[in-house]
Structure 1
Amino acid sequence: MASVNYNENDPEIIRRANELVYLMLVREQSKLPTKRPDIMKHVMKERKTSFSSVVDVANKKLQDTFGIEIVEIGEGSKKAFVLRNKLEKVLVPGHDESKRALLTIILTLIFMSGNELQDGAFWNSLRKLGIEPGEKHPEFGDVKKLIMTEFQRQMYLEVTRTPNSDPPQYTIKWGPRAHLEVTKLNLLEFVNEIYGKTDPSVWKSQYQDATE
């Protein structure tokens, strides 16, 4: 979303843009995407015709002040606005260290498995790391809720039920926010460190995926 020159003589636009900046920053603390209905309810209220102008002005303020920008991700009813850091690239920004590490591991597992994992294989992989979905983890608490609810609500993961599966089975993929914030080459470097390798191209299919 490009920066724009906005009309500083329109105090109503400026006021609502300031409210949107506040809303986005507050929701970013919990990594919650902000959907259009959220903005309509908390910011626009009765003034609905200037939505685009308010978003553009808020975006410019965020870029000029914090070096972050508003980006729209997702499709259809799942579209939402999130903040992206323009000045620094990290694996998964914004989380506390423990959640950040877990999410990075999960995204790496999915990426290295061909960009999707069935839930059975997914949980088996985490069990090897001492993480049981049915047990309370001393660091993460209810791990299954954290992964399947919080990370999915934050749009880092996308979980879909396999059609006609009985008992129900699910496919776990990267969500749109992961694609926005995470660099696959960085993940390959992370994997290289684990296996003591120096050249990420040894992972041929993943390297091709990361460099396309």
Structure 2
Amino acid sequence: MPRGQKSKLRAREKRHQARSEAQRAQDAQATAAEEEQPSTSSSSPSGGSSQDEEKPSTSQAQPNTGRYHRTPLDDTAILLVQFLLRKYNMREPITKEDMIKHVIKKHKVHFREILRKASELMVLAFGIDLKEVDPTRHRYALISKLQRTNDDRLRGEEIMPQTGLLMTVLCVIFMKGNCATEKDMWEVLNVMGIYADKKHFIYGDPKKLITEDWVQERYLLYRQVSNSNPPCREFLWGPRAYAETSKMKVLEFLAKVHDTVPSAFPSWYEEALQDEEERARARFTALVHTGALATGPSMANFGSFSHLY
């Protein structure tokens, strides 16, 4: 097959896969929204990157070449997401026993598969990790990809539905060299069915959310590109994004979407590791300056801080 035709086929398969992932996430959000609270956004990033060498070396899930069809296990996973959100918002413990008793029921034999699907949906739709914190008693916890700061609305009493979409936007910026043009951003979001000029059925006006709301909340910087002709604008991480998440967490989010590990993206992984070490050094320095750590000759020879994270 000619190279041009192969490229078009691969691009078409990527679009199908991204739409399927986005649809699953949106199904989870819509179901949760009906029971829990008014929702405003979410989805998952496609592989929209200019760095072709960053494609993961591990095997990918087979692309969906047709319309996405939900299975009974998919439906149960979506119901489990709704159950987990309710437990989280009511600050009740999450146990395997409760999940089987109240949601999974007759599908008990498929518990691991359903839990895996629900865990993926929690990340894609809400930017929330489902972690087993007590393997003996099979207790679980939901951990946000964002560490909330001083906004009362975001202190953790309730899941923020926009987190998944925000992680997507931050991921695109990171993939594009820490600065993404408006054109780059919407090319990725369009693949997921999110358009600047169309209302989204979950969160309303995506352009306002991204170019105004998150800019005001300091998650994003949105500025004019210098000497651009015709004039164009670009996105960067804002100070609140740097405070509440990290490049490694964003890369983990991307890896989760592609069913792989962060190290499958070598150069981004290296940059994320460097960012983690710089953060560790900054934390260590702050502790020294505040007197929280003793200083002395032993500290002077302290080289690598990588073990702090």
Confirm whether residue 161 of structure 1 aligns to residue 224 of structure 2.
yes
Q: What is the rounded CA distance, in whole Å, between the counterparts of 1:160 and 1:166 in structure 2?
A: 15
Confirm whether residue 106 of structure 1 aligns to residue 160 of structure 2.
no
Task: State the match for 2:263 in structure 1.
Answer: 201
Which 4+ residue blocks in structure 1 deviate beyond 6 angstroms?
none
Q: Is the 8 A contact 1:90 1:182 kept in 2?
A: no
Task: State the match for 1:134 in structure 2.
Answer: 197
SS at match of 1:130: coil
TM-score if structure 1 supplies the norm length? 0.54
Aligned residues: 124
Q: What is the rounded CA distance, in whole Å, between the counterparts of 2:211 and 2:188 in structure 1?
A: 15
Structure 1 residue 174 displacement after superposition = 0.5
Q: What is the rounded CA distance, in whole Å, between the counterparts of 1:89 and 1:180 in structure 2?
A: 16
Matches within 5 A, 1:176-195: 176-195=239-258
Identity %: 33
SS at match of 1:159: strand
Structure 1 residue 89 displacement after superposition = 6.9
Q: Is the 8 A contact 2:167 2:253 kept in 1?
A: no
Q: Is the 8 A contact 1:185 1:211 kept in 2?
A: yes
Structure 1 residue 175 displacement after superposition = 0.5
Q: What is the rounded CA distance, in whole Å, between the counterparts of 1:163 and 1:109 in structure 2?
A: 20
Task: Point out which structure has higher relative CO (alpha carbons under 8 A, 6+ apart).
Answer: 2
Give RMSD over aligned pairs: 2.0
AA aligned to 1:153 is Q
Structure 1 residue 173 displacement after superposition = 0.8
Task: State the match for 1:42 in structure 2.
Answer: none
Q: What is the rounded CA distance, in whole Å, between the counterparts of 1:204 and 1:135 in structure 2?
A: 36
Residue in structure 2 matching 1:90, options 144, 152, 167: 144
Larger gyration radius, structure 1 or structure 2: 2
AA aligned to 1:90 is S
SS at match of 2:162: helix
Q: What is the rounded CA distance, in whole Å, between the counterparts of 2:180 and 2:246 in structure 1?
A: 19
